[in-house]
């Protein structure tokens, strides 16, 4: 799954399906664009490829304000144009400064450098970590580190001070787009984190995106739904996922 790629045609069709194409300003909104509203969360997305754009779009549709970011924000014009006044494009620095919560959706190989660049700015922020580490894309050394220390703890190492919650890493973007707000029982999204309040924020955002959060435990339990683990790739309800993971109802 290449989170760093530009949005592909299936994602574009998804965006057009759930929201009408908005005209007007694309990259900059007027002052007061994200005025304070307790029902609205300001979310910064770092890495607006397939996962970042899909989940961010679901949040916009739920009424939140989302700043999608890229090193080349001009390439996000089509994405934000289709989402109206609650979406904006900018740089990672702008997304971090804007967001009360952050979605981290870049290839795992970028984590060491992103951490060097932005860990200080992310300290104290709720960061939903959607990354997975694979040998082919991210390299053997980094994959070995995640296996030895766990994905959650490895992310926490690169972003010290951030309130990390593992989330949205188990399913592809097309599945997330298709199954959001699913009839007959919401699809489960496993999450894990060491900060109780951050888990609460993440749980709400998972629900707002159209899914049911399943808190698996602390960051040391994140490997229960890492790639290849029993909780990975499960398109099931919360009750079914809890049973698979051996969690009490």
Q: How confident is the model at residue 31 (pLDDT cuts 50, 70, 90)?
A: very low
Domain presence at residue 175: yes
Q: Taking residues 88-96, what's their average pLDDT?
A: 97
Provide the whole-model pTM.
Answer: 0.85
Supply the pLDDT for residue 37. Answer: 67
158 phi and psi, to 5 degrees? -80, -15
Q: Which residue has the higher pLDDT, 181 or 248?
A: 181
Domain presence at residue 1: no
- Which structural domain range is residue 136 located in? 9-245
Domain presence at residue 4: no
Over residues 107-118, the pLDDT tens digits come to 999 999 999 999
165, β-bridge pairs: 128, 193
CA distance 214 to 206: 10
| 206 has a pLDDT exceeding 60 | yes
CA distance 48 to 127: 15
Domain presence at residue 2: no
Domain presence at residue 181: yes
Q: Are 180 and 209 in contact (CB under 8 A)?
A: yes
List, in order, residues 6 or more apart from 80 with CB less than 8 Å away.
Answer: 26, 27, 68, 87, 88, 89
Domain presence at residue 30: yes
Domain presence at residue 121: yes
Domain presence at residue 22: yes
CATH of the domain at 91: 3.40.50.720
Helices 50-61 & 9-18 angle (0-180, nearest 10):
0
The number of domains in the chain is 1
Q: Taking residues 47-66, what's their average pLDDT?
A: 97
Count of Cβ atoms closer than 10 Å to residue 184 Cβ: 5
């Amino acid at each position: 799954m290449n989170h760093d790629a530009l949005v592909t045609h299936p994602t574009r069709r998804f965006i057009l399906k759930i929201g009408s194409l908005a005209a007007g300003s694309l990259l900059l909104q007027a002052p007061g664009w994200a005025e304070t509203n307790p029902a609205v969360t300001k979310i910064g997305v770092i890495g607006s490829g397939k996962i970042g754009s899909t989940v961010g779009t679901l949040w916009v549709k739920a009424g939140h304000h989302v700043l999608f970011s890229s090193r080349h924000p001009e390439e996000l014009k089509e994405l934000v144009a289709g989402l109206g006044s609650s979406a904006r494009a900018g740089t990672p620095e702008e997304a971090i400064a804007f967001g009360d919560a952050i979605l981290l959706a870049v290839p795992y190989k970028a984590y060491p450098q992103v951490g060097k660049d932005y860990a200080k700015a992310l300290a104290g922020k709720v960061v939903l970590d959607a990354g997975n580490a694979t040998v082919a894309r991210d390299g053997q050394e980094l994959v070995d580190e995640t296996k030895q220390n766990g994905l959650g703890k490895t992310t926490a190492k690169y972003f010290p001070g951030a309130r990390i919650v593992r989330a949205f890493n188990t399913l592809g973007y097309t599945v997330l787009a298709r199954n959001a707000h699913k009839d007959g029982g919401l699809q489960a999204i496993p999450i894990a984190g060491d900060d109780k309040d951050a888990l609460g924020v993440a749980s709400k955002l998972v629900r707002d995106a159209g899914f049911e959060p399943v808190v698996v435990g602390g960051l040391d339990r994140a490997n229960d739904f890492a790639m290849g683990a029993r909780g990975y790739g499960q398109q099931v309800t919360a009750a079914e996922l809890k049973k698979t993971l051996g969690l009490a109802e």
